[in-house]
Structure 1
Amino acid sequence: MNPRRKQRLVVVSGIIVLIGAAISLMLYALNDNIDLFYTPSEIIEGKKGQTPQVGQRLRIGGMVVPGTVDRNSQTLQVAFDLVDTGPAVTVLYNGILPDLFREGQGIVATGTLIDPTTIEAHEVLAKHDEEYMPPELAEKMKGIKHVKPDAGDSQ
């Protein structure tokens, strides 16, 4: 092998090693910020055969079960149950809940699994449905009738 090819091989090999090291470092740094999304059923029954481990950070989404919101009158501690189509999971949260939070409402909570059916949340986000409309716009649209076009009318 001539010296020029050998030099190119060393340079290309060095670049590949540096790129691999950079990707490895990025993945290692991002590993602490990854929150997997689960539903209450997936937490209890498992997701693709794996159940989350106690202490794991995760996101959970579901509906707040009516009648389960328990507020502590002395602190900002709130406990409520979340459900999707299966068993319920208890969420503990210490803080001010979003304005859209209410029983029967869909929410997404980010937190840590403290036992197989309890999550200690550090963030709670209330979801609104796609039918939401600001009150001012709803008032303006009261008199307007909207008819959905038929699929067969496009001739």
Structure 2
Amino acid sequence: MPRDVSLSDVKDLVGQEIGVSDWITVDQTMIDTFADATNDHQFIHTDPERAAAESPFGGTIAHGFLTLSLLSAMNYSAVPRIREQTMGLNYGFDKIRFGSPVRAGRRVRAHFTLTEARFRGASMLMVTYDVMMEIESEKKPALTATWSTIIQFDPKDRPPEA
């Protein structure tokens, strides 16, 4: 997949897997930092000894919202940039499912399939992806989601056929 595409070529990519992200290791430091940022210090995330003894996971696991938040970095490493883009905005998620917990120390990566690209107004393109985040060496994904973002561009760059 090319690292960048033109605005006029995006619609040709609909239906294709357009990228697979780099692997990210979700270590205990990352989990603890996220716990501090969100004030979610549940022991299954932050207490390795207690989580090993009292949880069914055999140790600590990442917060679901931590795994979800990694999609931004994964998108950046996997999805081709649109040359005419001036800014990107999250629009939202239509569906998020957390399939399997991410244990501390595991690596995850995401697969992005472009499912829709439609122009909105003179200077916006809404793109929607089906995303699947895999956990290295596990069968069930960490999460699946349908994610929409808005690509902002200068109206003069809008393709004539759009």
Tell me if TM exceeds 0.5.
no
Larger gyration radius, structure 1 or structure 2: 1
Determine which structure has the larger strand proportion and give its number. 2
TM-score by length of 1: 0.29
TM-score by length of 2: 0.28
